[in-house]
Structure 1
Amino acid sequence: MKRMLTAAALGVSVIGTGACVSSAAYTARVEAANPPIGDMVEVNGSKVHVIQQGETGTPVLMIHGASANAREFTWTLGPRLEDDYRLLMADRPGHGYSQRPDDASELGVQAAQMAGVLDALAPGEKAVLVGHSFGGAVALRVALDRPDLVKGLVLLAPVTHDWGGGGQAWYNSFAAPPVIGPVFSQLVPIVGPQQVASGIDGVFDPAPVPENYFEKSAIGLLFRPPNFRANARDVQALEEELAKQSKRYGELTVPIVVFSGSGDTVITPKVHVGRLKKQVPVDLVILPAEGHMPHHAEGEAVADAIRRLASSEISG
């Protein structure tokens, strides 16, 4: 029996070593294909990777959702707005090329990092905040904690409230824990990228997936083990964080525009924006032919909302 256990342990060790080698090779390849293209901004002792487009005008801070990074906006909203506004597209903590401070699964910590970007790059100015999905929760938290920085919010399929449990991808429960997570995440680069196609279809459905979406948005960066663990920890902590945060929404005074796809199956809109509307005035744009990614096919409508808030004299 002892020999069998020793052999089994050796086998696990060999597999683990092989996985580490494979994940290191994957990380090197994906980072070579998708290097950092922004600036590293020091915020609260950690660096935030910020991609900037446009040089003048009202600052617009864009905050991406789960499983994504700041490149999500560089080819969707960026080209529509860069001539008239100063766009700041930030990787959330532990995503893309941003460092991850302690307790970064807390929305308050993520919001502080985003607020720090504005303090550093747009001091004394109020910005329009754009948040997609998880990024919508962070944008709301910035508006709650630092209203002095916010001119208005444009939320894209935002997650805003606790949803009654469930809905978690099985792999997050393996990737998030501190002991098993690092080991499990070494396997992700081996199988994750090949399995993601069906998941992307579901995120966009009923709208089609844009051509070369995976490459243009650098989704491959997600499958680096530290990035994958950061994403899992964020998602695992989100419901409890939102249960606390949503109690404060009555404090919001800035104008809020929400784009919500009727076909969204990633979240249930009535659980989120439906409840948000009961707490604070919201300009709701319902998109009957969209799912969870309205800033792609409806990018011009989203850009118009950003322009409207940027030019408004209403500033909370």
Structure 2
Amino acid sequence: MKIILTGLTLLLALSGIGACVHSAVYTSNVEDKYPPKGTLVEANGAKVHVIEAGRDGPPVLMIHGASANAREFTFTLAPRLQEDFRVLMADRPGHGYSGRPEAAETLEVQAAQMAAVLRQLAPDQKAVIVGHSYGGAVALRLALDHPDLVDGVVLLAPVTHDWGGGGETWYNKVAGPPVIGPIFSQLVPLVAPAMVKGGIDGVFNPKDAPDDYYADAAIGLLFRPPSFRANADDMNVLQDELAAQQHRYPELSMPVVLFSGARDTVIDPSLHAGKIKHQVTGFELVKLPQTGHMPHHHHGDEVADVIRRLAADAMDQSS
């Protein structure tokens, strides 16, 4: 029996070492394939990686959702705006190439990192803030905590309210705890990339995913163990964070426009869009009957037009 237990222990140890080696190789390869494309901004003891498009015009800050990074916007919205705006696309804490400061799983700290980007890269200017999915919650917190930086908010299939429990994915629950989480995250690069490539269409349903979306959005960066755990930590506390934030939405004084796909299967539009529309005075809801969770990919022109309108209205009011 002792020999058997010793053998099993050795086998597990070797398997763990093998997983660590594989994840290290995976990380090196995926970072070679998708290197950082932007500048690094120091904020609260951590770096924020910001991809820029356009050099002149009012600033527009874009905040990506869960399981993503700033490249989400580089081939969708940015090309539509870069001739007239300075587009800033930031990796959220722990995602892409941004560092992760203490308490980065909170919306307060996530918004503070985004505020630091604006104060350093677009000083003395207000911006239109664009947030997709989880990034919508961060965009709202940025507008709540730092209204001096915000001219308007554009929300793309956002999560805005506590949804009453349940719905958390099993892999985020496993990846979060301090002991099992790091071990589990080392295994993620072994299986997750292939699984996600096959499931991307579900996020875009009922539309088709853009060709080469996995590569263009550099989704593979998610499966580096630290990034995967950062994403899990964000998601595991999101309901509590929203429960604490959602009562503050009546404080928003700037215009808020929300694009909602009626066939979104990732979030419940009737819950999030349905609640916030009653809380914000300057609120506008854009309903998209045949669209799911990625409206900026299939309605990019409409989203860009709204951004232009909010920026123009803000300039008219300030002149």
Question: Shared fold (TM-score greater than 0.5)?
Answer: yes
SS in 1 for 2:271: helix
Match status 1:306 vs 2:298: no
Task: Tell me which residue corresponds to 1:94.
Answer: 94
Give the SS at the match of 2:278. helix
Mapped partners of 2:223, 2:94: distance in 1: 12
Equivalent residue, structure 1, for 2:287: 286
**Structure 1 position 233, deviation (Å):** 0.6
- Superposed, 1:122-201 pairs within 5 Å as 122-201=122-201
- Residue 6 of structure 1: CA displacement? 2.5
TM-score (norm 2): 0.97
Shift of 1:11: 1.4
- Residue 8 of structure 1 and its aligned partner are, at CA, apart by 2.0
Tell me by how many angstroms 1:202 deviates: 1.2
Query: How far apart are residue 80 of structure 1 and its match?
Result: 0.3
Partners of 2:309 and 2:251 in 1: how far apart?
Answer: 22
Structure 1 CA distance for aligned equivalents of residues 79 and 163 of structure 2: 35
Unaligned runs of 5+ in 2: none
Aligned length: 315
Residue by residue over 1:106-165, the C-alpha shift from the partner in whole angstroms, topping out at 9 and shown as x without a partner, is 000000000000010011110000000000000000000000000000000000000011
Amino acid at match of 1:284: L
Q: Secondary structure at the match of 2:260?
A: strand
- 2:251 equivalent in structure 1: 251
**2:12 matched to 1:19?**
no
Once the 2 structures are TM-superposed, how far is the Cα of residue 101 of structure 1 from its aligned partner? 0.5
Task: State how 1:7-46 maps to structure 2 within 5 Å.
Answer: 7-46=7-46
Offset at 1:86? 0.4
Gaps of 5+ in 1: none
TM-score w.r.t. length of structure 1: 0.98
The CA deviation at 1:91 is 0.1
In 1, Cα distance between equivalents of 2:229 and 2:117 = 24
| SS class of match (1:109) | helix
Alpha-carbon deviation of 1:199? 2.7
Percentage identity across paired residues of the two chains: 64
Give me the CA root mean square deviation: 1.0
Letter in 2 for 1:297: H
SS of residue in 2 equivalent to 1:211: coil
Deviations 1:56-104 (A, max 9, x none): 1110000000000000001100100000000000000000000001110
Query: Is 2:234 the partner of 1:263?
Result: no
Letter in 1 for 2:120: A
